[in-house]
Amino acid sequence: MNVFLVVNHQRDWPVDIPGANVVSAREYLTDPAYSENRPARVLNLCRTDRYQGRGYYVSLLAEARGHRPLPEVKTIGDLQADVPANLLTGTFNDQVQRALANQTGDKCIVDAYFGRDPLRRNDTLSQQLFAALRAPLLRASCARNNGRWRLSELRILSATDIEPEHHAFVAEAATDYITRNRARMRDAPAGIPALAILYNQDEPEPPSNREALEKFSAMSQALGMRTEFLRRNEIDRIPGFDALFIRDTTGVNHYTYQFARRAAAEGLIVIDDPDSILKCTNKVYLNELLARHRVLTPKTLMVHRDNIDQIVPALGLPCILKQPDSAFSLGVSKIQSPSELRASVDKLFSKSDLVIAQEWLPTAFDWRVGIFDRRALYVCKYFMAPGHWQVIKREADRKLEGSTIAMTVGEAPENVVKTALRAANLIGDGFYGVDIKESNNQCYVMEVNDNPNVDAGNEDGVLKDALYREIMGVFLRRIQERKRVAAQ
Domain ranges of the chain: 2-183, 188-272+475-487, 299-359, 362-450
Phi and psi of 151, rounded to 5°?
Answer: -80, 115
Whether 100 has a pLDDT exceeding 90, the answer reads no
Candidate ranges 21-35, 142-156, 217-231, 318-332; pick with highest mean pLDDT = 217-231
In the prediction, which pLDDT does 179 show?
79
* Average pLDDT taken over every residue of the chain: 87
163-215 pLDDT, tens per residue?
A: 889 988 988 998 888 877 655 554 555 578 999 999 998 888 899 999 999 99
User: Residue 212's Cα: distance from chain center in Å?
Assistant: 22
Question: For the structural domain made of 188-272+475-487, what CATH number should be given?
Answer: 3.40.50.20
367 - beta bridge partners? Answer: 381, 436
What's the helix, strand, coil split of the chain in %, to 5? 40, 25, 35
Greater confidence (357 vs 258) lies with 357
In the prediction, which pLDDT does 83 show?
52
In the prediction, which pLDDT does 326 show?
67
Task: Please report which confidence band the pLDDT of residue 357 belongs to, taking 50, 70 and 90 as the band edges.
Answer: very high
Q: Which fold has domain 299-359?
A: Dna Ligase; domain 1 (3.30.1490)
Candidate ranges 215-219, 302-306, 384-388; pick with highest mean pLDDT = 215-219
In the prediction, which pLDDT does 184 show?
54
Q: Where are the alpha helices (DSSP H) in 223-337?
A: 255-265, 274-280, 283-292, 311-315
In the prediction, which pLDDT does 447 show?
93
Confidence (pTM): 0.68
User: Residue 141's Cα: distance from chain center in Å?
Assistant: 25
Q: Name the packing angle between helices 73-80 and 54-64 (round to 10°).
A: 150
Whether 396 has a pLDDT exceeding 90, the answer reads no
In the prediction, which pLDDT does 235 show?
87
d(CA 9, CA 149): 37
CATH entry, 362-450, from 3.20.20.70, 2.40.40.20, 3.40.50.720, 3.30.470.20: 3.30.470.20
Torsion angle defined by CA atoms of residues 61, 62, 63 and 67, in that order, rounded to the nearest 10 degrees: 150
In contact, 75 and 47? CB cutoff 8 Å: no
Whether 15 has a pLDDT exceeding 70, the answer reads yes
Q: Do the bridges between strand 442-450 and strand 375-383 make them parallel or antiparallel, or are there none, so unpaired?
A: unpaired
Classify the phi-psi angles of 238: left when phi > 0, otherwise alpha if psi is within -120 to 50, otherwise beta. Answer: alpha
Task: Please report which confidence band the pLDDT of residue 323 belongs to, taking 50, 70 and 90 as the band edges.
Answer: confident
Count of CB atoms situated within 10 Å of the CB of 438: 18
